[in-house]
Structure 1
Amino acid sequence: MDAIMTLTKITDGAYLVPLGNANAVLLDAGSDLVLIDAGFPDKVDRVIDAVGKLGRKPHDLKHLVFTHGHPDHIGSAAAIVRATGARTYMHAADVPLAESGGPFRPMTPGRGLLPSIAFRIVWKPNEPMEPFHIDQHIADGETLPLAGGLRVVHLPGHCAGQVGFVWQGKRLLIAGDVFMNIFGLSDPVGFEDEAEGRRSQRKLADLAPETVCFGHGKAIIEGATTRLERAVAQR
């Protein structure tokens, strides 16, 4: 088994699960577990191990929700669905990516050294993923009745169908790839539409979350709004 090394608590009921240089978020708030994003391919064992660390069984993972349809967020999705029977959720703009397995829409690198290097190393739009079915299309402004309620916020730019999820008021914002937080806040690896991406970065800061986590890098546990505002002002 490709065992998970860490399961990091973000806040009560929410855990960051590293899935091969990309994060998933596991929500344990009720009878059913919710996983947001599925990481790179071949990480299903890490997900099952994370579920076990919470004292739960694979079939307790009932919902698999996606911030967007890029390979590092859907790579293990088909395998996770087979292992758990989880129901799947994604913004309509990215559903064709999941259900075809690629190719993926072109991007240009984000600004800065880290995004430009990562773009060259990891972005492989023509490398296919195993396709899988999306059970429910989600849209901006709706609240999914999962884990006590996940409010959907459309945050396009990095990816046309990218969304974030606001959980428990403003207690936690799960923000996908609007930013990375590896060596501080930076642009994501790339943008499908940079102008839209800048608007989404501004929108993210305006949400004024208490805590925010991203698809890549550490969660910001304290001072999230201040750090987001500073990052936006630098762009």
Structure 2
Amino acid sequence: MRNLVIASTSTLHGSGFLEYLLDELALFFKDAQEILFIPYARPGGVSHDMYTLKANEAFEKIGKKVVGLHTLARPAEGIKKAQAIYTGGGNTFVLTNQLYKFNLLEPLREGLLNGTPYLGTSAGSNICGLNIKTTNDMPIVYPPHFEALGVVPFNINPHYLDPTPGSKHMGETRETRIKEFHHYNTEPVVGLREGSWLKVNGETVVLKGHLSARIFEQGKVPYEVDSGTNLEFLNQ
């Protein structure tokens, strides 16, 4: 039974790390005293220790302790025994490469499908999808595969941005990039705007937050879904 919070971002403009989600997370992690943190995405190249410290400072506000996966001698066992898991943002290719390197993708998938509470933000949300082909990140390392956890039946595009009216930007929009993806791939894509998240509970995948999400399906005109919508209909 899936029990996930898949969020577009860890930090909204003008707020602290995870601050906008803390009330939700206090309820979500109510039965866990300790949260296993996967720091592999390393935003900006920050060390695993420093990233774990940042996560711990946030979770202390709701009475939770954070342990970095990188500190465990047997990380796969740590995942299997975890009361709850959080995977932070950063570079999705770096994160995916590390999960494959340490043979952690399968234990993580199994834990999530069996109900271990899981929070993902940004890169940690990307890996919940079918593959990581719709991440915004540069491929600075080359993981063995692009296949991801597949614990939701679609891909995710965190930090989804709409074109700015009157902008002189000459590059491709986010929508154009996802349309390019659908020339070669069939997986649906959920564009998650900042401050939005998906609450996954069993068979339901419900959009949360104050904003709509943009849905892309191969061969269809992109469309909006309102907060509160169950996205399980995207199951191929």
TM-score (norm. length: structure 1): 0.39
**Whose radius of gyration is greater, 1 or 2?**
2
TM-score (norm. length: structure 2): 0.39
Q: Which structure: greater strand fraction? A: 1
